[in-house]
Structure 1
Amino acid sequence: MKILANDGIDPIGKKILEDAGFIVDTVHIPQDELINRLNEYDAVTVRSATKLRQALIDACPNIKVIGRGGVGMDNIDVDYARSKGINVVNTPAASSHSVAELVFAHLLNGVRFLYDSNRKMPVEGNSNFGGLKKAYAAGVELQGKVLGVVGFGRIGRETAKIGLALGMKVIYSDLFEGPISLKLNFTAGVEVEVPVEQVELAEIFKQADFISLHVPFTDKPVIGKEEFDLLKDGVGLVNASRGGVIDELALVEALNSGKVSFAGIDVFDNEPTPRQEILTHPKISLTPHIGAATNEAQERIGEELANLLIEGLKK
């Protein structure tokens, strides 16, 4: 059997599949060529780049398993594929901690103005050192602040754990009833149970000093023009979930007015061509959709995805 890893797979995952007797092709096939090529394979794995929609699924009846390395599957017509008897799997837990760490990279970046300092120091550091020092002198600490987590799945909970470990108070909103505490695991086998509080989304907007979003995109932004008016003045926002969860143009207005102090953005409305207003804004910390892009996460994703494919193809 042949497997197409169209958006790549970690070498560990590739080896697991090959040791199990599968042929694994990691050469990327462009989206517009897939309709003519995908039926050469028995299974396909993708990340966020490749889209598997109904027309492509219909054209490739040979496909038995679709694997998504990572969490969100909004680039796959999941229900339709399953209705055609195709097993659709993903690896929601494997990258959770890596995404959560990136959230805090943006938060720590934001509260100490590193995103702007790193732009200006190479240009003005030897001519305006004092001016830059003064400009970045009003940093704040995360300890003691309120972190609002919107969406309390695996990534949201990992994000909350890091916040708790830094001494933040964590409140969260979710469609389902969630936990009242989280267990933090430290070195030497030390475990600590720390309380968290589930609240309505509107309460997060009112109370949170910093907000991190971990929800799929639906038909409208979670934070749009009306919601920005409800936010606490000077709030910091991080979006490492999906483009469109925050209204980007409304975000620019809120940053310009001072309603939002800074934003950390890893995902964008128009990937792979984000808006210039976002890319050039002096109060936005930017990364190119790399939440799961750590060596450790990719190894876990590759291993889990390989085992899911083997299970699906050998049924």
Structure 2
Amino acid sequence: MDITKVLVADAVDASCVDLLKKFSIQVDCKYKLPKEQLIAEIPNYNALIVRSDTKVTADVIAAGKNLKVIGRAGAGVDNIDVKAATAKNILVLNTPGGNAISACELTCSLITTLARNVVPGAASLKAGRWDRKLYSGHELYGKTLAILGLGRIGKEVALRMQAWGMRTIGYDPIVSAEDAKKFNVESLTLEQIWPQADYITVHTPLIPATRNLICSAVFNKCKKGVRIINVARGGIINEADLLAALNSGQCGGAALDVFEQEPPVDKITWELIKHDKVVATPHLGASTTEAQIRVAVEIAEQIVALTKKSKEYSVGGVVNRDVYDKLKL
């Protein structure tokens, strides 16, 4: 694939630009362009690299007369119109494994934080109170952790929380029961999972099948006091239903790193964020130095691999496989 000019529209680690330039690919970094300006610029480039800020909509793609590749330095492509790209035979890439460890570690941190009331306890002490009895928690040892999505992140979470003595159960329509058993996760149906889980953590993409996956009907099937963690995508948990479950006590606590709107503007979202049973962080799952370097390098490596200028790299993050096969890359 002939790729000579790349537009980097969101801030990525410099290692991405350095690697592309090493293989004589021209790179222009123009961050946070207004949509109209992006549409005006995109015809000049063969490839576009984004993170989360830039929305690659159908009209942006339509303007990309010379566009061959759209790459996201991160996992998932929620901000890219894959259908529109596919219709124009534009390859869409992401870096699905680049932030797995960082997202996993944040998930594990949030589970332990919920168990021991770390956030409200710390806030109370900073406010000059000594509320030891009020913020008594519980052990994770012997508790059941349900992991929805047993890919890279889900697997890593399972391995780490097993070290805390948690029983791990999970669901993934792609990962077989035999493969899940290899990392000590008992594969169950969702209906089997709901009444058994003390904690539920989600690690799935946001697709029609997972939107509002956890809702009032699910909370009613769970143990009273079940705790929920979401470091995946906003929208997988119905925020209004979660708020109601927290207020009724059916949900004992939630740790949320992602929201239906980012930055949040909805009243219900802000009620959740401010709720005394909620630990909320501003989408920090991939926000580590290591993850940002990793995804930057991985997206650059894939673009270089497409040019055939190096046999050292491969294309492992293809989203629209039909286009890849059609182009016989």
Shared fold per TM-score greater than 0.5? yes
**From 85, 88, 97, the counterpart of 1:84:** 88
C-alpha change, 1:58 and 1:194, in structure 2 (3 Å) is closer
| 8 Å CA contact retained: 1:150, 1:174 | yes
Does 1:196 find its partner at 2:190? no
Q: Could you tell me which residue of structure 2 aligns to residue 2 of structure 1?
A: 5
Q: CA deviation at 1:281?
A: 0.7
Q: Could you tell me which residue of structure 1 aligns to residue 195 of structure 2?
A: 206
Does 1:59 find its partner at 2:63? yes
Q: CA deviation at 1:179?
A: 4.6
Residues 196-222 of structure 1, C-alpha deviation per residue, up to 9 Å, x if partnerless?
210001222111111000112234400
Q: What SS class does the counterpart of residue 74 from structure 2 fall into?
A: coil
Does 1:101 find its partner at 2:105? yes
Residues 25-84 of structure 1, C-alpha deviation per residue, up to 9 Å, x if partnerless?
233133422111222222111112211122211111111111011111121122331331
Within 2, Cα distance between the matches of 1:102 and 1:204?
23
Does 1:15 find its partner at 2:29? no
Q: What SS class does the counterpart of residue 17 from structure 1 fall into?
A: helix
| 8 Å CA contact retained: 2:201, 2:230 | yes
| 8 Å CA contact retained: 1:100, 1:159 | yes
Within 2, Cα distance between the matches of 1:202 and 1:277?
29
Which structure 2 residues correspond to residues 7-46 of structure 1 after superposition, within 5 A? Answer: 7-32=10-35, 33-46=37-50
| 8 Å CA contact retained: 2:226, 2:251 | yes
C-alpha change, 1:14 and 1:179, in structure 2 (3 Å) is farther
**From 223, 226, 237, the counterpart of 1:232:** 223
Q: CA deviation at 1:194?
A: 4.7
Q: CA deviation at 1:291?
A: 0.5
Q: Could you tell me which residue of structure 1 aligns to residue 289 of structure 2?
A: 295
Q: What SS class does the counterpart of residue 133 from structure 2 fall into?
A: helix
User: How many residues are matched?
Assistant: 300
Q: CA deviation at 1:166?
A: 2.1
Within 1, Cα distance between the matches of 2:231 and 2:60?
28
Deviates more, 1:4-13 or 1:292-301: 4-13
Q: What SS class does the counterpart of residue 38 from structure 1 fall into?
A: helix
Structure 1 unmatched ranges of 5 or more: 184-192
Q: CA deviation at 1:313?
A: 4.2
Which structure 2 residues correspond to residues 68-83 of structure 1 after superposition, within 5 A? Answer: 68-83=72-87
Residues 259-301 of structure 1, C-alpha deviation per residue, up to 9 Å, x if partnerless?
1111010110111125221221111111111111111111211
| 8 Å CA contact retained: 1:6, 1:46 | yes
Q: What SS class does the counterpart of residue 263 from structure 2 fall into?
A: coil
Residues 87-120 of structure 1, C-alpha deviation per residue, up to 9 Å, x if partnerless?
2111101111110111111111111111212332
Q: For the aligned residues, what is the CA RMSD?
A: 1.8
Q: Could you tell me which residue of structure 2 aligns to residue 118 of structure 1?
A: 122
Give me the identity figure in percent.
38
Does 1:242 find its partner at 2:233? yes
Within 1, Cα distance between the matches of 2:282 and 2:44?
32
Q: CA deviation at 1:177?
A: 4.1
Q: Could you tell me which residue of structure 2 aligns to residue 283 of structure 1?
A: 277
| 8 Å CA contact retained: 1:47, 1:68 | yes
| 8 Å CA contact retained: 1:54, 1:81 | yes
Using structure 2 for the length normalisation, give the TM-score. Answer: 0.86
Using structure 1 for the length normalisation, give the TM-score. Answer: 0.90
Does 1:142 find its partner at 2:131? no
Q: Could you tell me which residue of structure 2 aligns to residue 272 of structure 1?
A: 263
